[in-house]
Structure 1
């Protein structure tokens, strides 16, 4: 059962990176992000879209080993499939391949999401296709290389329940920030800041600490979210030490 949540792109931005609300919703098009960098998970890709993707591209869903995040309602015709037909008739689903995630679990979550989309939109299994189907691009590349074969994925979709789980409601509404340990040069801090802002899609700042420098994030709602943020920084090897402080 995949956890799903929405992080929708504002309509004013969506109008600039889609064909508009003209999607016929005849296909589910499966992609992979091809972004293996640590931290390039579903939340990071959703934030990338929400903050204004530097590429002329858009997609409805991103899925990792923990959750599926929706960026566009299905009636938007996103720019992802490489052809007019694929873009204007397809619901685009990106599977994350970040190296700090569990690829097999991400594929399983994608199968659960695809089963739900099929049920919600009345799409037959014969119209669940690869990005390659519309543009001949080698995508989803890991599936096409056999890490999980396409036939195995389709079998997962057929047996998936399509059931979803909403994220646990936030009961701690307090605001927190994550502070890294110190860096000896501002360039080192700027390198970390660039990753947090560009790869993770976070708000973040550099603060002086005497002759040293540290990076401070924007706010997280709830201690659990802040802890997850701190762990993400450590997993990406951006800082050995992190501290969580009240905002």
Structure 2
């Protein structure tokens, strides 16, 4: 089963970028982020929503090839489907298409997530729909282009539904940071810091370690999120060593 965790947008912010807690939860609406940038994964999109999206848009879930992250509870009617009906009756799921991710695995994870939501909210497969269904927008664009066909995705959801088990979001509230191995020059550490801040959208710092330098991130909630952050750093080849540490 796909790893599921929460990074819920605070209610004070959520009230400004949704219709409020009025979602009738009749549909599950599938989107794709159309964000091909390296690092534009579920964690990055969840952080974007948590810190205040500059666009007048919001969505309940984002899912990539590693995890599904929830930003809004299902009662929140998010701004994503392009119509009042779609927004006020749909749970919005964004599939990440970042160039450094595995799109097929992200779609498989999305299918598992959708199967879980169907079970939790008693939503039938016939009401799992594309963003296009409500607004006519070409979304999810890769799926509509046949990268993975819609019928294949629905089959994945049906198969996942047969194996679906109840899974609660991770509730580890301990705080962790990620600490990299050392760099021989401060400039090398600053190059990594620049990527973490401006591409990943993270808080991060440089620390001296004798004559060498390390990079330390801001805090993650839960060791699973911190480990995912460490893996993201290593996958992007920013450090050979990156480990979660207690904050």
After TM superposition, the score normalised by the length of structure 1 is 0.82
Q: Distance in 2 between matches of 1:131 and 1:183?
A: 49
Q: Residue in 1 aligned with 2:123?
A: 123
How far did 1:231 drift?
3.1
Answer whether contact 1:112 1:163 (CA < 8 A) is retained. no
Gap runs ≥5 in structure 2:
none
Answer whether contact 1:7 1:69 (CA < 8 A) is retained. yes
Answer whether contact 2:6 2:169 (CA < 8 A) is retained. no
Q: Residue in 2 aligned with 1:76?
A: 76
Pairs within 5 Å for 1:41-120: 41-120=41-120
Q: 1:113 to 1:174 in 2, by over 3 A?
A: closer
How far did 1:215 drift?
3.9
Offset from partner CA, 1:52-83 (integer Å, 9 cap, x none): 11221110011122221111111111011112
Q: Residue in 2 aligned with 1:38?
A: 38
How far did 1:105 drift?
1.8
Answer whether contact 1:24 1:88 (CA < 8 A) is retained. yes
How far did 1:6 drift?
1.8
Q: 1:74 to 1:223 in 2, by over 3 A?
A: closer
Gap runs ≥5 in structure 1:
none
Q: 1:75 to 1:125 in 2, by over 3 A?
A: same
Q: 1:196 to 1:90 in 2, by over 3 A?
A: same
Q: 1:222 to 1:91 in 2, by over 3 A?
A: closer
Q: 1:57 to 1:192 in 2, by over 3 A?
A: farther
Q: 1:72 to 1:169 in 2, by over 3 A?
A: closer
- Structure 1 stretch displaced more, 159-168 or 88-97: 159-168
Q: Residue in 2 aligned with 1:17?
A: 17
| SS in structure 1 of the partner of residue 30 of structure 2 | strand
Q: 1:183 to 1:76 in 2, by over 3 A?
A: farther
Offset from partner CA, 1:167-214 (integer Å, 9 cap, x none): 77769x68444246548686x766644542354342213457899976
Q: Residue in 1 aligned with 2:158?
A: 158
Q: Distance in 2 between matches of 1:177 and 1:159?
A: 37
| SS in structure 2 of the partner of residue 45 of structure 1 | helix
Q: Residue in 2 aligned with 1:218?
A: 218
After TM superposition, the score normalised by the length of structure 2 is 0.82
Q: Distance in 2 between matches of 1:140 and 1:212?
A: 46
Q: 1:153 to 1:177 in 2, by over 3 A?
A: closer
Q: Distance in 1 between matches of 2:33 and 2:94?
A: 6
Offset from partner CA, 1:84-112 (integer Å, 9 cap, x none): 22111111001112233222221112112
Q: Distance in 2 between matches of 1:126 and 1:228?
A: 34
